[in-house]
Each structure stands twice: as structure tokens, then as C-alpha cells.
A = this chain, B = another copy of it.
Amino acid sequence: MIRIAVDGMGGDNAPEPIVKGVMKALETFDNISIILFGDETKMAPYLKTHERLSVVHTPDYLDMGEKDPIGKYRKNKKISMFMALQAVKDKEADAVVSAGPTQALVVGGHFIVRRMPEMRRVAIAPIIPSFDGRGRILLDSGANVEIRPEYLLEFAVYATIVAKHVLKRENPSVALINIGTEEGKGRDLDKETYALLKDSKDINFFGNLEPKEVFMTEADILLSDGFTGNIVMKTMEGAAKGLGAVLKREIKSTLAGKIGALFMRKSLHRFKKSLDASEIGGALLMGLNGVVIKAHGSSNDYAFFNGIRQAKEMVEADVIRIVSQTLEKKADDGS
């Protein structure tokens, strides 16, 4: 039985989509049990009793705009997100899923679950949409604004193991996000990281990737520092939002456009769906001593369900143990 701790109060629309996602996951997967942390009176309208569900009541939770998660943690350990993380620390759960504020989850992850000894930093690794619909791992998407090449290599190793064992990609490749494809492009960080990735036996290096290929590339993993990764993720989001708005405006501006849209309804729906991150799931926090999934703040029940599915698959594949062994072996090799 895979035991998943869920923060019932995280996310823009919590607790409704969270609790509904939990119920759906329990119905779908018979090898999981869930401990749900949150305000019982607020969650009650959506809760059903289930033999594999236990609820732990706490009235305290974080606002999505929380600016001082460290201060909050110091003052109050009974916040739903922190209690869910504590359950992993105490070996009462194998994984955590929260749609709460990202930085709080990163901070709480560090303070409570702690880093794996073999990983020197923690990365935020969302799975972003791709043309082929299978998604790509983008990391670091915001945890480490400034970082060293060696740590990026560790991220690459972790992501490779996830791509192989969870996403079932054969010989997954790691691309370094850069401003040109040739070796020698970019900042010192990029050049040094290129050299490390190229020499590593633990990953399959794709080479540099210019983000004009971000949506079409064959590479499975897109790697950069947390500043650049965040910029790429948000620019994709901004472009998708902007192009969607332009398309809508142009369709609505003529009668023929509106008629066309009726015929095209299903195509446009599939178009929207293939860009919808909720189809794929949340972001993995890679580097913690446990499986921690950050579901989108705006998760609907289906998106949150997918976050739970991801957590289950990460535990089933025993990712943390494999990463730990791979990085330990690497250290022994002196590589």
C-alpha cells in the first residue's frame, strides 16, 4: 500500500478540487491510502468516507500569497502543508501532494523532509506540454536562482531516472537550455555545465537546446538554472495565453470566424487540451528525502488527481532509492 499525505487546503480553490481529486484517486487506484490534512468543516461538503482515507483536522493553512513561509513554519507547525510534510518525515506517508504556494513547499521540504544527502540542491521540475503530447521535464524552474554546474548535473541524473522509470522513456536525453546550439555558447555556467553533462556516464546528453525548439524537441529533459528555467516556463505560459487571446479576438471579429469556430469546436478543444498542464500533473520537487509533488495552484480535481497519480508512480518506481544509489556510485567513482 502506497501512503500519500495530502495538503487539503493548498491551492486557489481549495479545498473543493483537492478533496474531489483525492476521492477520485482512491476510487481509481486500489493500492494507495491517503491521509488528508485540513479544516474538516471546510472539507466536509466534498468528503466521502473511504476505508483507505483518513482525515487529520487542522484549522491552519497557508495563503497562496504567503510571503514568509519560514516565519510561518517557525511559529506554527500545525499548518496543513507542514503537517503533510511531517507525515513523510515520520514515515507515516511515502509521498506528499500539495497545491499550496511553491516557495513554502520548497522551504517546508527543506526544513521538514530534508534533502537527500547525495543531492546538494532541490529543484522544481514541472512536466511541461510538448507537441507529441508526452510532456517534457523542465528543471530547475525556480528553486535555485543561482547555482553551480555540479548541482545541475545532479538534477540531470535525477530527472533521467524519473524519465526512465516513471515516464517510461527509453534512454531519455538531457538538453541544456542555451542561446545557441554549438558548444561554447552561453555564460560561464552554461559552458561548464555543458562540459560536465557531456562527460557524464549517468545521462544521455542531447547538447544545447535553443528554446525556439522548446515545444518540438525530441529531448526529454530541459535543464537550466532556476532563473532561466522559470523564465522559459513563464514565457511559454505568456505566449500561450497571448496567442490564445489573439486567436479568440480574430475569430470573434467576423461572422465567418464565428461560424468557423462552431465547426472547429472539437479541434479547438483538443488544441486547448494539448496545452493544458493539468493533463500531465504537477511539478516534482527533486532532491528531497521523499516524494514531494507540487500540484498547480489553480488545480481542478482532475489536475490534482494527476498529482496524486504522479506521487504514486514515483513511489512505485522507487525513484529516490535509485537516485541515491546512482549518485553514491558516482561519488565512489570519483566522477
Q: Which residues on A are within 8 Å of B, measured CB to CB?
A: 67, 130-131, 142, 145-146, 177, 179, 182, 186-188, 210-216, 226-228, 230-232, 234-243, 245-247, 250-251, 253-254, 256-257, 259-268, 270-271, 274-275
Partner of A264, one of B145, B228, B264: B264
User: What distance in Å separates the Cβ of A101 from its nearest Cβ neighbour in chain B?
Assistant: 12
Q: With the chains together, A41 CA to B41 CA distance in Å?
A: 83
User: What distance in Å separates the Cβ of A196 from its nearest Cβ neighbour in chain B?
Assistant: 19
Is B268 a contact partner of A250 (Cβ separation < 8 A)?
A: yes
B residues in contact with A265, CB < 8 Å: 256, 260
Is B257 a contact partner of A231 (Cβ separation < 8 A)?
A: no
- What residue of chain B has the Cβ atom nearest to residue A236's Cβ? B239
Is A245 a contact partner of B131 (Cβ separation < 8 A)?
A: yes
B residues in contact with A267, CB < 8 Å: 247, 250-251, 253-254, 256-257, 260
A210-B234, A228-B231, A261-B264 known, 7 other contacts, Cβ within 8 Å: A131-B246, A179-B227, A179-B234, A216-B245, A227-B228, A247-B247, A256-B265
Interface residue SS majority, chain A: helix
Given A186-B145, A232-B231, A237-B212, are A257 and B246 neighbors across the interface (CB < 8 Å)?
no
Given A131-B246, A242-B131, are A235 and B211 neighbors across the interface (CB < 8 Å)?
yes
Q: With the chains together, A264 CA to B197 CA distance in Å?
A: 47
Is A246 a contact partner of B274 (Cβ separation < 8 A)?
A: yes
B residues in contact with A237, CB < 8 Å: 211-212
Q: With the chains together, A188 CA to B227 CA distance in Å?
A: 11
B residues in contact with A256, CB < 8 Å: 263-267
B residues in contact with A268, CB < 8 Å: 250
User: What distance in Å separates the Cβ of A6 from its nearest Cβ neighbour in chain B?
Assistant: 27
Q: With the chains together, A274 CA to B249 CA distance in Å?
A: 11
Most-contacted residue by chain B among A214, A235, A251 (CB, 10 A): A235
A-B contact pairs, 11 of them (CB 8 A): A131-B246, A145-B179, A145-B187, A212-B241, A215-B243, A216-B245, A231-B231, A232-B235, A243-B243, A247-B267, A247-B271
